[in-house]
Structure 1
Amino acid sequence: MSVGQEHDSGADDPDLIRLNKRSLFTPSASVAVEQHSAVPHVSRSTYGTAKVEGRLTSPNARVPEIITQRCGGITVKGHTLKSFAYTTDAVIIRNTNANAILAVYPFTGEPVITQALLTVAQMPLFVGVGGGTTTGPRVAELAMVAEMQGAAGVVINAPAPAETIETTMSMVDIPVIATVTEDDEITECKILAGAAIINVAAGARTAQVVASIRAHHPEIPILASGGGREDRILATIDAGADAITWTPPSAQQLQSQMMAKYRGEV
């Protein structure tokens, strides 16, 4: 009996298990939240940029386009960075299109955390090394380890004195970002201590503080939080920020939205 005849003979066999040829990664049409094409999507923007999107690409962790369009950016080792995603979520880090990651968290810095984030990051990672909970020599030591692991830069929290900035700058060859909340004498001292980038995190007053620092220091690279609204992002850029930190939705928020769609609630 030929192979074809053998196949035909089992055509009506109710016990025969049949496997279809659908890919494991092809969503079921009845439950899919996002429908994906069979081939990558290729297009060209109005600015002349060619775009290639994968079949399973999700737009949910994408940076607001106004940041890309309006920011001048900060060039670090030849890479111009306009958007920094403020997150330590490995899933978001892997799927966002931000130019860089700002990984600052409310615990003492640990090299194992930095290593884990570097494993999933596809863009430069700037990691927090203390300055608030963690103080003293440990800040500079963590910065040295982060540099050896491959971090693009380190972030020192607002409470750290200018001396910590100066010590860290003398021990590493990657940019030290100093976080500030005001344009005051402390910020002035941190700039004079050699901070490579000033990160303004002043909440609703961020644009005002950025404008004040920019007036005194037109040369200093300024990174600033843009908030969640486009008008606040634009105001911060217009005030003089070179790059914007953007807080993406968490994986839990996105999963909740997806489950709501699966349940037919939205």
Structure 2
Amino acid sequence: MQINSIWGSKKKISFWDKLFRRNKNIAKELSTPDIIENNCQGLILGNYNLKSFLFSTDMALIENNDADAILAVYPFPPSPKIIKTLIDFSGKPVVCGVGGGKTKGKKSLEMAIYAEEMGASGIIVNIPFENKDIKKIRQKVSIPIFATVATSDFDFLKNRIEAGVNVFHVSGGTNTNKIVKEITAKFPGFPVMATGGKSLTDIDESINSGSKAIVLSPPSNKDLFKTIMDKYRDTF
């Protein structure tokens, strides 16, 4: 599969391995790069050590990917139906988006409480989210609060931590690895994960910069079907 240089199927498991090695993970169509499992330290959430997060709410992609956890963020107001469905379906830790620029205040607080009640492993807020609202959420939920950031500004980050944030998710475009390195220097030991980019080199640089986990964006259904249909056209 040549959709993206970071994606590909691992060695297929035979029928007999599936039958007699039930404790082994079955290879998925979209397998996360080995570099993440081998080199990432991981984030501890409950009983899990999470090294890879799939940035998706697509159930087909979630089902056919072997990432450790799901980062469920989308450009719409948070939905109780989506939160519950993804947590019930995924069979792995889910971190749910509860607010940012469009959703905040009481609505975000309600979604955070609901996400915890449904079994979310964490909630995440986007860059515009206000610290006063993070504090209110922190008072009501016990699961980790993630915050997406695109800066290494000391005061901004310090205020986020004091408000109750437990993990920074760095999504700074081409500056992501630089920001990760600066955050880990300013706040040694504070958990940071990063959007991994589009190549193994990007992922390697993120890990070496101090990211404890990598967020991966899967190829779109359109791109997946293009590869399949090109093959079918050539064959038939």
1:69 equivalent among 35, 38, 50: 38
Normalised by the length of structure 2, the TM-score is: 0.87
- State whether residues 148 and 168 of structure 2, in contact with CA within 8 Å, keep that contact through their aligned partners in structure 1: yes
Q: Which residue of 2 aligns with 1:189?
A: 159
Give the stretch that moved more between structures: 159-168 or 231-240: 159-168
Structure-2 change in CA distance of 1:243 and 1:205 (3 Å): same
From the CA coordinates, give the structure whose radius of gyration is larger: 1
Q: Distance in 1 between matches of 2:91 and 2:16?
A: 19
2:72 equivalent among 92, 103, 116: 103
The Cα offsets for residues 113-160 of structure 1, whole Å up to 9 and x where unpaired, read as 112212320210111011221011211111001111111111101111
The alpha-carbon deviation at position 219 of structure 1 amounts to: 2.0
**SS of aligned partner of 2:99:** coil
- State whether residues 52 and 67 of structure 2, in contact with CA within 8 Å, keep that contact through their aligned partners in structure 1: yes
The CA RMSD measured in Å over matched residues stands at 1.9
**SS of aligned partner of 1:244:** strand
State whether structure 2 residue 138 is matched by structure 1 residue 169. yes
- State whether residues 91 and 251 of structure 1, in contact with CA within 8 Å, keep that contact through their aligned partners in structure 2: no
The alpha-carbon deviation at position 232 of structure 1 amounts to: 1.0
Structure-2 change in CA distance of 1:226 and 1:38 (3 Å): closer
**Structure 1: gaps of 5 or more residues:** 1-35, 43-49
The residue correspondences of 1:25-104 to structure 2 (distance < 5 A) are 39-41=15-17, 51-53=24-26, 58-59=28-29, 61-104=30-73
Normalised by the length of structure 1, the TM-score is: 0.78
State whether structure 2 residue 206 is matched by structure 1 residue 236. yes
State whether structure 2 residue 172 is matched by structure 1 residue 202. yes
State whether structure 2 residue 196 is matched by structure 1 residue 263. no
Q: Distance in 2 between matches of 1:52 and 1:142?
A: 33
**Structure 2: gaps of 5 or more residues:** 1-11
Q: Distance in 1 between matches of 2:47 and 2:120?
A: 15
Q: What amino acid is aligned across from residue 244 of structure 1 in structure 2?
A: I
More helix by percentage: 2
Question: RCO greater where, 1 or 2, for CA within 8 Å and sep 6 or more?
Answer: 2
The alpha-carbon deviation at position 38 of structure 1 amounts to: 6.9
